Amino acid sequence: MIKELVFVTNNAHKVEEVAHAVGNRFKILSLKDLGFEKEIEETGTTFKENASIKTQRIYQQYNLDCFADDSGLEIAALNGDPGVFSARYAGEHGNHQANIECVLEQMEDITDRKAQFKTVISLIWKGREHWFEGVVTGTIRTEISGNSGFGYDPIFQPDGYPVTFAEMPLSEKNKISHRGKAMAQLITFLQQQ
């Protein structure tokens, strides 16, 4: 029997990535599938806090097993920014192009371009909360390159690869991405239940 699991997000790209990663082991439901249209305000100061805010809200309202992630880009030379503000770094939530332009502008004269993507997943499973974390290190390119992915993918080049996340096939990105690593831990946990 396929287990249903709610991914606490309205981001269709994230749902697609996760559904691709888990294959037919679980049926991933989104907030839209639940008929939940509201935005859950992320008031935490860390990825862990924001992920937990989302799962707690859905679990309390629907009493369903669920998971949520909070992810972001952390740039060493910008003291870890954009961090928890990654999705709204330029001011407007979800404006990927404006966020990229803001980062490139701030990085214009900076030679240390080290960065990392980080994901923290909160899973509420049978009433208990569990945590999974994934990190991928890389550098910030000086210009946009590639059309795949979303967010900062066109300017993030993972260590050991000559291309950005936006130039990689989704299957390759999932193997090395921060979300892919955290999801792998989540899937291993679920398989052991």
Where the chain has pLDDT below 70, the residues are: 1, 23
Separation of alpha carbons 115 and 112, rounded Å = 9
Model-level pTM?
0.86
Whether 143 and 104 have beta carbons less than 8 Å apart is answered as: yes
Side by side, the strands of the sheet bearing 26-29 are: 26-29, 3-7, 66-75, 114-125, 128-140, 156-158
**Residue 70 annotated as catalytic:** yes
pLDDT at 4 (0 to 100): 85
pLDDT at 190 (0 to 100): 81
Average pLDDT, the chain: 92
Q: Which domains does the chain have, with CATH numbers?
A: 3-191 (3.90.950.10)
- The catalytically annotated residue of 33, 65, 69, 70 is 70
